[in-house]
A = this chain, B = another copy of it.
């Protein structure tokens, strides 16, 4: 069973977490959880101030060379009638900038991220120079286990 377009749309707006799959140079998929906000029809995920290893992140290195990515939003529940998922197949690029220095697009994205995640009052949105992943949506696929899954997704899609 597929999610209704308006439910999928609202989940892209409000669901707090997704898993991002990129492709490594050696042909292996690479997976990491991400936070994201939608702006102008794309998903934006910041390389933020949560603790990370040194050097350029694998996700960034991968998508600079191989931009096709997959992003999964989903709900797990011990009651399997409530399961749903929503998958974005897209193309990603790394966007660098300085939203505090007059870049209107990045400032708007930063504002969308701060509005969605009050956590950024305590956590740095960027580490030094701003760096975000911009994921353009090529296709959406969704699934749910049935009427209970639809209801669960609808509940999650409401403000």
Q: Which residues of A contact B (CB under 8 A)?
A: 1, 16-17, 19, 21-23, 27-33, 50-51, 66, 68-72, 74, 76, 78, 80, 83, 85, 87, 89, 119, 123, 143, 145-146
Contacts and interface: CB of A to CB of B under 8 A. Distances in A.
B33 A29 contact: no
Tallying the copies of this chain within the complex gives: 2
A29 B119 contact: no
A76 B33 contact: yes
7 contacts: A1-B51, A19-B72, A22-B29, A30-B70, A32-B85, A50-B145, A51-B146
Contacts of A23: 23, 27-29
Nearest to A87: B31
